[in-house]
């Protein structure tokens, strides 16, 4: 069964550094999402992406964040200047367009630790 | 925007008993309500979902009910097993392509 994959599984960075989190959505999916989950808290929506542009973003997704689909398979989340409070698990998700359901398939997550 | 609340935050049941988790949502336009199970350190995985034109859906030991008028939906797990122990998140969505708004989660512990 196809799955969403994410790399790296764990990223440690210094405050102020840039990080890029990578995701490979399921191949025939065209909607992509980033969510984050601070330890012990709920999953929070960051951004959705469709047809090579952002379709929706939350207030968390400020100018420090950007997303890109650089090729036909990868979907990346960049944080330009990390802050301590960016430490969280970041989940990528994707969903197919041709579906009577709205299920989103989640990747295994990248744990980001900002020191 | 949409706000999803979930209760209880923790739930302990004896193996074989039933577990019920309840969620409420605020936006009457929401029309899709998935439930995700997240085991420790793992990704959220869909266990069941319900659309707004359906009042109840069942899949083996799990079922979900939806009351659109009251804007609440519930997850029911019968004959609980230790492997059901996890954090369960409900979510609401405005539908096609829209993001999910998650509830805060319920930590379910099934005691042997």
Question: How far is it, in rounded angstroms, from Cα B19 to Cα B68?
Answer: 22
CA distance A86 to chain B (A): 18
| Cβ <8 Å between A104 and B100 | yes
User: B-chain residues within 8 Å CB-CB of A91?
Assistant: 43-44
CB < 8 Å to A45, chain B: 99-102
Residue whose pair of structure tokens reads 């739930």 in the numeric block: B11
> Within the 10-49 window of chain B, which residues sit less than 8 Å (CB to CB) from chain A?
32, 34, 36, 42-46, 49
Nearest C-alpha neighbor of A86 from the set A3, A9, A16, A8: A16
Average pLDDT over residues A14-35: 94
Which tokens belong to A7?
């790399």
Q: Strands (DSSP E) along B1-112, which ranges? A: 4-7, 10-14, 19-25, 32-38, 45-51, 56-59, 62-67, 72-77, 86-92, 101-102, 106-111
How far is C-alpha A75 from the geometric centre of its chain's CA atoms? Answer: 8
**What pLDDT does residue A85 have?**
95
Instruction: Identify the DSSP state of A60.
Output: T
- What tens digit of pLDDT does each residue of B26-69 get? 999 898 899 999 998 888 999 999 988 888 999 899 999 999 99
Tell me the per-residue pLDDT of A45-95, one tens digit each, with 9 for 90 and over. 999 998 889 988 998 999 999 999 988 789 999 999 999 999 999 999 998
């Amino acid at each position: 069964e196809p799955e969403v994959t994410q790399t790296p599984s764990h990223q440690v960075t210094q405050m102020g550094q840039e990080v890029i989190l990578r995701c490979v959505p399921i191949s025939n999916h065209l909607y992509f999402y980033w969510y984050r989950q601070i330890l012990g808290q709920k999953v929070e929506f960051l951004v959705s992406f469709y047809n090579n542009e952002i379709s929706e973003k939350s207030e968390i997704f400020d100018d420090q964040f950007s997303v890109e689909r650089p090729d036909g398979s990868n979907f990346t989340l960049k944080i330009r200047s990390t802050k301590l409070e960016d430490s969280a698990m970041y989940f990528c998700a994707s969903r197919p367009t041709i579906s009577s359901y709205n299920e989103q398939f989640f990747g295994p997550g990248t744990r980001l630790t900002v020191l | 925007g949409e706000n999803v609340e979930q209760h209880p935050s923790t739930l302990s049941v004896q193996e074989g008993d039933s577990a019920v988790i309840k969620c409420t949502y605020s936006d009457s336009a929401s029309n899709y309500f998935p439930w995700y199970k997240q085991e420790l350190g793992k990704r959220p995985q869909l266990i069941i979902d319900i659309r707004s034109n359906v009042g109840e859906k069942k899949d083996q030991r799990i079922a979900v009910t939806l009351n659109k008028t009251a804007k609440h939906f519930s997850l029911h797990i019968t004959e609980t097993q230790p492997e059901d122990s996890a954090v369960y998140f409900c979510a609401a969505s405005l539908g096609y392509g829209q993001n999910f708004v998650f509830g805060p989660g319920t930590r379910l512990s099934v005691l042997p």
